[in-house]
Structure 1
């Protein structure tokens, strides 16, 4: 049975939603070289120890072992995507995406069945997306890299040890980040229109990711080719100097951006210094996030001035959730719209696009 999935291959994390499931799966887009682990106590969740070997004709290195997501976040040899990386071409993004889809598939199967073998097969039609500036040139390439047969073998992962999963992607519908989120905001799960103002209007979107900030202009649910644009800057542009300043001032080193983002989301701004001292990193975060907010609000103003027909601006994405109080302060009298679970809006939009396209022929 073919599953429908929305997958947001973000530069900070990969997020997956399956049709009919209420719980999204979120895996930090961080990998590290895998090796035999010395396990003193098994983790209480598979997501905490994604230890995989991936076989795929779309990867430059085949049959490689990787620590993925949370297991890689604190590994000193981990890698995170940089501004020069293109997620449509990135092996790392494909590794994390296939791992997340394999886990989502077996999790759904085990929820509906009490027995399973050491080998599974999951088939998908997926919806996904790319930034505005990447989409035109790379959407077909991204689609071709995703579609096909891949194999993920979980090694020391708890509850999935030595389980092999064939991930078959029958079709990938690639859309534009930000625009997909707007589709989700304006429709019900049944795909009927929920918000006519948004669905039929001329809406600006500011989608703040880790490495990119996209400004699609959506008119009656169609992308405006002339006025939609994107910038090669995101929240990571400011996370990196925050980490450097903390290390320089306090000697405390965050092993990855993902680790810092975890603390910011949990509002845990106190770090433990060597010995028994502590330090408050909030002033450093405030300094950089305030600068980020001013820059983003200026970009929104420029978009609105160039195209005054825009009725309203939605600010979404993982960066929007982190920067919201700073953006509101920087915006002053300019009203910006925010939504709950901001970082999940694209993922849910991709799932709805997969649902709407799945009954149509493959030529899209």
Structure 2
């Protein structure tokens, strides 16, 4: 049997994140049709920015694509983002499959081994409401991903590499559970001591992942099982604030930029200059994010009340997601009287959780396989 590489894939609205034991990759969640570009000088930089690929599924040619930053920079008006309200894995266009296999192939690129076949055990997931409402879609997508995909890298930096990607094992989880598992466990799947202390006192732990378009919640009990009524999604995320900031920039300064650039800009700069005008980003972002947080709290506590969940039964709330990088300090004391644990790796917390999910399933697969062979040995001995 081929060795399976464990990986976690977090398909975000703005960015996709891939997590493996030895590397992490983040790239814009965009794709467009590829073409033969006219390049005068040699291009150089991080390989993730040059994903110009041809993709085959089995013997079927799917086409040529620019993926991620390459698509954002060189599209010809056909740039495609994951659209809000559409299940990520309802993949009639093949876009999601192409993004996944391209990044998996990139993770295994080796300039000294340009033609190879690689096999993955992939953990991934979708927003909580999509996960529970679209199980058939997820099942069909996993079946489709079992077919080998051949990724041909066209950019000269890849030296003609051809990598065939197979995903015989694919495991889905709701987004909220992935980040919570990640924040409560070490890489060797051992529960962190501070988490064990909370459970020993009989408290539950709430996990909250604040993404671009949705916030996903999960609640884990002291016996390490998830509370069934504690799975829910909230239609509030950083996009609520980013859209308001974008509108303000255009209204006050005539500065019209896409949401993804607003997101990048306010993370990196306190002030920027545009056509001779100094724009105070710290001031502009303050009110939109305060409003977003107030709305999130209102909807969060409404959900708890509706589901009969007492927040006082929680010993901690673990918060992750892109919002942590923007308003981390304002998330403290999210639930009054309950300890707040803020992720130290907010962008990759879900991806790491999916990676740990793959590792957990590897152990389960090994145990089942050993049990099967043990049964066979016992039968032989009886005979």
Query: For the Cα contact (< 8 Å) 1:4–1:351, is it kept in 2?
Result: yes
Q: CA deviation at 1:335?
A: 4.9
1:74–1:259: 8 Å Cα contact kept in structure 2?
no
Cα deviation digits, residues 4-44 of structure 1 (max 9, x gap): 1111122221111223x0x3111111223322223234032
**1:216 paired residue among 200, 215, 218:** 218
1:312 — aligned with what? 316
- In 2, distance between residues paired with 1:285 and 1:358? 44
Given that residues 333 and 339 in structure 2 are in contact (C-alpha distance below 8 angstroms), is that contact kept between their aligned partners in structure 1?
Answer: no
Return the TM-score normalized by structure 2.
Answer: 0.81
Please give the secondary structure, in 1, of the residue aligned with 2:104: helix
Shift of 1:48: 1.6
**Residue 218 of structure 1: CA displacement?**
2.0
In structure 2, relative to structure 1, the CA distance for the partners of 1:124 and 1:198 (3 Å cut) is: farther
Distance 1:295 1:333, change over 3 A: farther
The Cα offsets for residues 312-349 of structure 1, whole Å up to 9 and x where unpaired, read as 22221122332323434987776532121112111111
1:159 — aligned with what?
157
Judge conservation of contact 1:289–1:326 (CA < 8 Å) in 2.
Answer: no
Larger radius of gyration: 2
Match of residue 116 from structure 2:
120
Q: Write the deviation string for residues 43-102 of structure 1: whole angstroms up to 9, x where unpaired.
A: 322112211222237xxx952222211223345632322322211214433322221111
Residue 36 of structure 1 aligns to a residue in which SS?
A: coil
Q: How does 1:105-254 map to 2 (within 5 A)?
A: 105-106=108-109, 110=110, 115-117=112-114, 119-136=115-132, 137-138=134-135, 139-156=138-155, 158-194=156-192, 195-197=195-197, 201-219=203-221, 220-254=223-257
Q: 2:124–2:172: 8 Å Cα contact kept in structure 1?
A: yes
2:107 and 2:162 mapped to 1: Cα distance?
A: 13
2-side partners of 1:30 and 1:307: how far apart? 38
2:347 pairs, out of 330, 343, 348, with: 343
Gaps of 5+ in 1: none
CA contact (8 A) 1:14 1:100 kept: no
In 2, the alpha carbon distance for the partners of 1:239 and 1:161 equals: 39
Query: Unpaired segments of 5 or more residues in structure 2?
Result: 369-383
Instruction: Please report the TM-score for the alignment, with normalisation by the length of structure 1.
Output: 0.85
Q: Distance in 2 between matches of 1:291 and 1:242?
A: 12
- Over 3 Å counting, the alpha-carbon distance change for 1:268 and 1:167 in structure 2 is farther
Aligned residues: CA RMSD: 2.8
Structure 1 counterpart of 2:380: none
Alignment-derived partner of residue 84 in structure 1: 85
Aligned equivalents of 1:71, 1:232: Cα separation in 2: 30
C-alpha deviations, 1:234-270, integer Å up to 9, x for none? 222332332233233323232x433222222213541
